[in-house]
Structure 1
Amino acid sequence: MTRIAFILLVHKDPEAVVRQARGLAASGDAVAVHLDARAPAEAWRILQNGLCAEPGVVLVERRRRCGWGGWSLVAATISALRLALARFPDATHFYLLSGDCMAIKSAAHAHELLAREDADWIESVDFFDGGWIKTGMQEERLTRWHLFNERERKGLFYASLGLQRRLGLRRRLPADIRLMIGSQWWCLRRATVEAVLRLLDERPDLRRLFRWSWIPDETLFQTLVRHLVPREEIRSRSPTFLAFTDYGMPASFHDDHHEMLLAQNALFARKISPCATRLRARLSELWASQRRDFPRGGDGRRLHDYLTGRGRIGERYGPRAWEVGGRVGVGRELLLIVAHKRHVAKRLVGMIRQLGDPAVFDYVFDEEGAALPPLGGFERGLAKRSRHPRAMLRVLFEAQDLARLAICIDPCRLDLVQELTEDRTDLRVLEIATRIDDAYLRLHAQRLKLADTDEAGLDLLMPTLRRQFDGESRALGEAGIARHYRLVEGAPAEDNAKALQAFLDIPADTALGIARTPHLFDD
């Protein structure tokens, strides 16, 4: 029978930790809690009072002062593991969690998975050739002595590192161990944990290697498990789902990420925002449920990047600091064609081009391959255009000697629309309102590789994507744009013609001809 002993590393919010530990233990599992020694004495008292009567929960009495990137986190983990091994002799698996982690599957599902797969779940790739480290220090994590914590003693940390570089000092790495790296969040079998701790006791050289390395929680267990366990008994991925921000920090999940999280091929997720009270309540209920139907819904990291790339963090719109500078200028007309279905907007643009005025360009801020004339470098790449969009538009007006210009933009670019309303240009917006059904959303998710082809998994993503699309349309309507017109799929051609006539400033019969274009809204 599977019983998980959760190794819970926490440093704040003791009341939430009490609820978290009780919820995990209520499923018949066990919990060993290590509270950072830097936490206030009151936090320790709350944990003792709240958990001392729980038979499935133990507290690590010898607490460590934990600092990110240092040995202290590994030492705290080892202390909790030793305690859990002694106090829970029937525990079959040991799962490392933080106070910000929550289950995204039921306990019943987790137990069945671990019983079915006789393996250790730990990401473990080659330290030197695996390409796991994307930025910052790489091989020097292990080949230099790290005597100071970078976050607590930054000056000494880099002074020591610089001195070792100048003197050519390098640590000798063990010849019989292949060094590995991976996520610090794992789930290991009992025999594996016992073997790892025994090896550390027998090999002081290994303990010294990781004791004076940088960020050893990403290398010690990953290396020793791969050294001790046959490859076929290792699932080289973390059982905990997490995504990262543009700054390389773990992203926080909010109330509207519920469907996305449940669709991930993982048992827990990190980090759940403390403000996501509804999400936390739903996930707590999920762990206690007997639910077993969890279809896969694609790559959550890719979906998270897609959503935050559209200015979205939860349901908040993130400001873009570089969207400043430059003015389009007074006396110019800028026409924005806003549509979720880009092929419909491009079809309309093709007809507008035939009029000769205004000049029109496709998705210049949304598509890398948008066709643009030479603009002194602005035309070379999407990132460059997006950095200073108003300045780029001004250059486009001047380079083409234009008085009127129309461009297509994605509805997610509400920040740009709002910025342009503050400009002195004559701004008009034409919103193309098309029907967005589940079939289109499925194709959209597959085109962007947000999901695999599993129908149940795709269904699980539909609420997230629909909420995103509906929210963007609603925000555009609430933006208070004075000259906002709508071309609506299914509306009478006469109504759409009025919108086109006002937007483009063209004769009524010309507008009606465009509005009656066959297949204008077709997919």
Structure 2
Amino acid sequence: MAKIAYILLCHKDPEAIIQQAEQLTAVGDYMSIHFDRSASPEDYATIQKALADNPNVCFAKKRIKCGWGEWSLVQATLHALSSAIEEFPRATHFYMLSGDCMAIKTAEYAHDFLDRHDCDFVESFDFFESDWIKTGMKEERLTYRHFFNERTNKALFYGSVNLQKKLGLKREIPSDIQVQIGSQWWCLRRRTVESIFDLLSRRKDIIRFFQTTWIPDETFFQTLVRHLVPGSEIDSRTLTFLMFTDYGMPVNFYNDHYDLLLSQDFLFARKISPDAKELKLRLGRLYAAQGVSFQISNEGRSLYKFLVKRGRIGRRFATRFWEKESSLGRERELMIVVCKKWHVAKRLIEQLRKSTNIPAIEYLFHEEGTPLPDLGGIQASLNKRTRHRRALMRMLFEYFDTDRLVICMDPAALELMNDFNSDRSTTRTLQIECDFTDDYLIGHAHRVGLAGERTPQQTLERLLPTIRNDIVYESDRIRDSGYSNYSIIRETDSAEENADQLAKFFGLPFETAKELAETPYLFAD
């Protein structure tokens, strides 16, 4: 059975560290602690005294001063790992933790999970090819030597880099090492850790290289594991659930996140807010519990993204400067059918094709598989279609040899609607207003990843009002945009009332419009 040695790097809050160590070792697991040498000696003494009689806790034999982004964090990890390997010969896995991490599964679940997955869990993506680094320097992390800390000596840090650039001191990466990058919260098997130490004993040049890279805790272990272990034995993900804001700051978890955390497909979570006393208490009791069943829905990240996005009202609607002259054409008419229930709009479009010769394309900016002609690759992906939307529409007008074209859009695509409505062409907008039952909204939550098959009913009940309000909010934003050629049909209106709007929107005789309004099962789910 798996036995885990937790590797804990910490520098504050001795009471929390003691509690964390006692909770994680109470069921037979281990912990090796490195307490920052620059932190309070009194705090370290308190921790040592409290855990002195715990045979499942050891301390790094050598302590060093640590700084964010520096090699010192990797060196401290190596010291703690070395002690753990020596002190805990029965440990099968080594799991990197911080003081802000807490278990969101029981030890029973964690041991069974690791027994069933004979691999190393470590994010490792190609440093140069991946987009893992979102902001700041990238290649310069490796190709220049970093002797100063960017956070504490910003002027010296950037001055040193600029001087090296000026003097042409760019260095080569070891030729047999393909640098990887990923989260520092990994879980490695014993044989992998032993292989790392064996490699480092023979290859001092690897240590010399990484010692002067910037933020090596995101590259060192990630690179060495990929160098030593077959790809089939690496699961390139972390077992610690963490999220970041758009500004690169860690998301904190609070008391009301307990059920959400337990439903994620991870063993730990960070960061737990210092103020979340109740959450810490409940999670602290969880690890030693037995017979707990977990319903994994794993919707945490998509749900967070959805809820945060709701607050983003201010967006850029102005035309990009390079699109100033990319009008669809003054004589052309683009008709946008907007509906949250895609199947309703598709039924209407299908009936339109039968009743008229107006070309119509379904959700081309939302569905990758929308049938489109070959336009030289511009239609190949959703990103390309959106990025080159005006060029794409011009080509579609030309392909169909028409001055009138119908497309479908989701109400969330307000930026696209605003862009097309600002064009010199005539743009018409038809909004289809549908009724939404709870069952439909639950299905919608599953389709867009806000809920999984095992999402608890209680979570769904809390989520439904938010989704319903979001749909209303999207609809209101479209109405508030003040489009000059705006029409609306409603599920609650009569066929005659909807036919009036359809005749106006499509420029059709009333009888033809009524055929559209009376499309069989138009609004049925």
Task: Please give the TM-score of this superposition, normalised by the length of structure 2.
Answer: 0.66
Cα distance in 2, alignment partners of residues 366 and 262 from structure 1: 33
State the AA in 1 paired with 2:258: H
Matches within 5 A, 1:69-468: 69-291=69-291, 293-311=293-311, 367-370=414-417, 436=438, 440-441=441-442, 443-451=443-451, 457-460=452-455, 462-468=457-463
Distance 1:470 1:16, change over 3 A: farther
State the AA in 1 paired with 2:122: I
3-state SS in 1 of match to 2:63:
coil
Out of 255-264 and 198-207, give the one that drifted further. Answer: 255-264
Deviation at 1:309, TM superposition (A): 2.2
3-state SS in 2 of match to 1:58:
strand
- Structure 1 gaps, min length 5: 312-318, 324-340, 348-361, 378-406, 410-431, 452-456, 475-495, 497-518
Deviation at 1:107, TM superposition (A): 0.6
Deviation at 1:77, TM superposition (A): 0.4
Distance 1:522 1:47, change over 3 A: farther
Distance 1:48 1:168, change over 3 A: same
Cα distance in 2, alignment partners of residues 373 and 143 from structure 1: 45
Matches within 5 A, 1:10-29: 10-29=10-29
Report if aligned partners of 1:106, 1:290 keep a CA contact under 8 Å in 2: yes
3-state SS in 1 of match to 2:7:
strand
Report if aligned partners of 2:239, 2:268 keep a CA contact under 8 Å in 1: yes
3-state SS in 1 of match to 2:96:
strand
Cα distance in 1, alignment partners of residues 299 and 466 from structure 2: 22
Q: What are the Cα deviations for residues 201-222 of structure 1, in whole angstroms up to 9, with x where unaligned?
A: 2111100111000110111111
State the AA in 2 paired with 1:264: Q
3-state SS in 2 of match to 1:458:
coil
Q: What are the Cα deviations for residues 456-500 of structure 1, in whole angstroms up to 9, with x where unaligned?
A: x434255345324557999xxxxxxxxxxxxxxxxxxxxx9xxxx
- Number of the residue aligned with 1:62: 62
Report if aligned partners of 2:119, 2:189 keep a CA contact under 8 Å in 1: yes
Distance 1:321 1:74, change over 3 A: farther
3-state SS in 1 of match to 2:287:
helix
Report if aligned partners of 1:132, 1:181 keep a CA contact under 8 Å in 2: yes
Cα distance in 2, alignment partners of residues 464 and 366 from structure 1: 27
Out of 204-213 and 173-182, give the one that drifted further. Answer: 173-182
3-state SS in 2 of match to 1:49:
helix
State the AA in 2 paired with 1:281: L
Deviation at 1:368, TM superposition (A): 3.6
Deviation at 1:192, TM superposition (A): 1.0
Report if aligned partners of 2:61, 2:83 keep a CA contact under 8 Å in 1: no
Cα distance in 2, alignment partners of residues 148 and 176 from structure 1: 27
Q: Once the two structures are aligned, what percentage of the paired residues are identical?
A: 49
Cα distance in 2, alignment partners of residues 321 and 31 from structure 1: 47
Cα distance in 1, alignment partners of residues 32 and 22 from structure 2: 11
Report if aligned partners of 1:260, 1:460 keep a CA contact under 8 Å in 2: no
Cα distance in 1, alignment partners of residues 187 and 121 from structure 2: 5
Cα distance in 2, alignment partners of residues 520 and 278 from structure 1: 50
Distance 1:116 1:469, change over 3 A: closer
Q: What are the Cα deviations for residues 87-134 of structure 1, in whole angstroms up to 9, with x where unaligned?
A: 111111110000111111111111112122221111112111133222
Report if aligned partners of 1:186, 1:238 keep a CA contact under 8 Å in 2: yes
Report if aligned partners of 2:101, 2:268 keep a CA contact under 8 Å in 1: yes
- Number of the residue aligned with 2:354: none
Cα distance in 1, alignment partners of residues 432 and 7 from structure 2: 52
Q: What are the Cα deviations for residues 386-427 of structure 1, in whole angstroms up to 9, with x where unaligned?
A: xxxxxxxxxxxxxxxxxxxxx999xxxxxxxxxxxxxxxxxx
Out of 251-260 and 152-161, give the one that drifted further. Answer: 251-260
3-state SS in 2 of match to 1:303:
helix
Q: What is the root-mean-square deviation in Å for CA atoms of aligned residues?
A: 3.7
Cα distance in 2, alignment partners of residues 30 and 67 from structure 1: 26
- Number of the residue aligned with 2:512: none
Report if aligned partners of 1:256, 1:464 keep a CA contact under 8 Å in 2: no
Deviation at 1:154, TM superposition (A): 0.7
Cα distance in 2, alignment partners of residues 448 and 163 from structure 1: 49
Cα distance in 1, alignment partners of residues 51 and 187 from structure 2: 23
Cα distance in 2, alignment partners of residues 154 and 165 from structure 1: 17
Report if aligned partners of 1:253, 1:276 keep a CA contact under 8 Å in 2: yes
- Number of the residue aligned with 2:374: none
Cα distance in 2, alignment partners of residues 243 and 131 from structure 1: 16
Report if aligned partners of 1:121, 1:238 keep a CA contact under 8 Å in 2: yes
Cα distance in 1, alignment partners of residues 432 and 158 from structure 2: 49
3-state SS in 1 of match to 2:9:
strand
Report if aligned partners of 1:124, 1:226 keep a CA contact under 8 Å in 2: yes
Task: Please give the TM-score of this superposition, normalised by the length of structure 1.
Answer: 0.67
Distance 1:408 1:363, change over 3 A: farther
3-state SS in 2 of match to 1:91:
coil
Q: What are the Cα deviations for residues 328-369 of structure 1, in whole angstroms up to 9, with x where unaligned?
A: xxxxxxxxxxxxx9669x99xxxxxxxxxxxxxx99887444
Cα distance in 2, alignment partners of residues 230 and 159 from structure 1: 40
State the AA in 1 paired with 2:198: R
Deviation at 1:266, TM superposition (A): 1.5
Distance 1:440 1:320, change over 3 A: closer
Cα distance in 2, alignment partners of residues 15 and 64 from structure 1: 21
Report if aligned partners of 1:5, 1:29 keep a CA contact under 8 Å in 2: yes
Report if aligned partners of 1:257, 1:464 keep a CA contact under 8 Å in 2: no
Size of the alignment, in residue pairs?
A: 394
Distance 1:130 1:369, change over 3 A: closer
Distance 1:252 1:520, change over 3 A: farther
Distance 1:23 1:370, change over 3 A: same
Deviation at 1:49, TM superposition (A): 2.6
Distance 1:180 1:373, change over 3 A: closer
- Structure 2 gaps, min length 5: 317-338, 346-408, 425-430, 470-491, 493-520
